[in-house]
Amino acid sequence: MAVRAVRGAIQVDADTRDDILEGTAELVKAVLDRNGLGSDDIISIVFTATPDLTAEFPAYAARLLGLTDVPLMCASEIAVPGAMPRTLRLLAHVETARPRADLRHVYLRGAAALRTDLPQ
């Protein structure tokens, strides 16, 4: 098994607790599903949120999904002028037999515009 990193992002509609929890859960599930991963494969996840999202910690959504024994951390993205607003990102470190080229990074909703080079 190799240690690999998987990226993902999602744009949410508003800075509300529900939008952040629902968007984060959707993103985590999509990353796991598209890569054939389970909770035991996850080493850690780093979540970031754009500075306009402060209503809830994205990591709390992962805890609600059952990732209670996975190290999780939240951080704020830097406030780059013109950057996409209301965006949650994740960087998951996982154990997998898949080669790096076979991993599927996940960009959902408006965040799909961040990586038009990737298949959706």
Q: Which residues are annotated as a binding site for prephenate?
A: 7, 89, 107
CA distance 24 to 29: 9
Catalytic residue check, 34: no
Which position among 17, 63, 95, 100 bears the catalytic label? Answer: 63
Catalytic residue check, 104: no
- Residue numbers in the known binding site are 7, 89, 107
CA distance 75 to 77: 7
Catalytic residue check, 74: yes
Angle made by CA atoms 8, 117, 83, in degrees to the nearest 5: 60
Which position among 26, 56, 86, 89 bears the catalytic label? Answer: 89
Residue 17 in tokens: 């607790």
Catalytic residue check, 60: no
Which position among 22, 34, 77, 109 bears the catalytic label? Answer: 77
Residue 35 in tokens: 């890569």
Residue 23 in tokens: 């968007």
Catalytic residue check, 4: no
Give the total residue count for the chain: 120
Which position among 74, 98, 104, 109 bears the catalytic label? Answer: 74
Which position among 7, 34, 98, 104 bears the catalytic label? Answer: 7
List residues with catalytic annotation. Answer: 7, 63, 74, 77, 89, 107, 115
